[in-house]
């Protein structure tokens, strides 16, 4: 079963920017309540979109360089990358359906 990839400053380029499929990146932190609300949705999306979309999580406390490069100011922030660039973004806890629509648009 698919599960989110744990991102770091070191593997971000390889896993996200160089990916040949769209990537959903969940910028989160362990102390963030809304992040914990979104986490099960991100897990489900990783399974449901396995093979079509890469799903990953980046802890902003341990990967501050990457979080800073993308101007992450509030979490959770979910960025959808396509062809190595940010194609869409969602800030805050949102319903699963909202994320599914964004992913389908990135795949379309």
In this predicted model, what pLDDT tens digit does every residue of 28-86 receive, in sequence order? 999 999 999 999 999 999 999 999 999 999 999 999 999 999 999 999 999 999 999 99
**pLDDT number for residue 89:** 96
The answer, yes or no, to whether residue 95 has pLDDT greater than 80, is: yes
Distance between CA atoms of residues 60 and 66, nearest Å: 8
Which contacts (CB < 8 Å, 24+ apart) does range 90-96 have?
Answer: 92/34, 93/34, 93/35, 93/37, 93/38, 94/38, 96/41, 96/44, 96/45
The reported pLDDT for the residue numbered 2 is 80
Average pLDDT score over residue span 2-6? 93
pTM above 0.75, yes or no: yes
Residues belonging to the active site: 32, 35
**Residue 1 confidence (pLDDT) above 80:** no
**What is the distance between the alpha carbons of residues 75 and 38, in angstroms, rounded to a whole number?**
10
């Amino acid at each position: 079963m698919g599960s989110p990839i744990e991102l770091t400053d070191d593997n971000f380029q390889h896993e996200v920017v160089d990916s040949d499929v769209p990537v959903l990146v969940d910028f989160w932190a362990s102390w963030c309540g809304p992040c914990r609300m979104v986490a099960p949705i991100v897990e489900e999306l990783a399974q449901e979109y396995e093979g079509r979309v890469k799903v990953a999580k980046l802890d902003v406390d341990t990967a501050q360089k990457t979080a800073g490069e993308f101007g992450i100011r509030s979490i959770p922030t979910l960025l959808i990358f396509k062809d190595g660039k940010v194609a869409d973004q969602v800030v805050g806890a949102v319903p699963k359906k909202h994320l599914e629509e964004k992913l389908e648009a990135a795949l379309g």
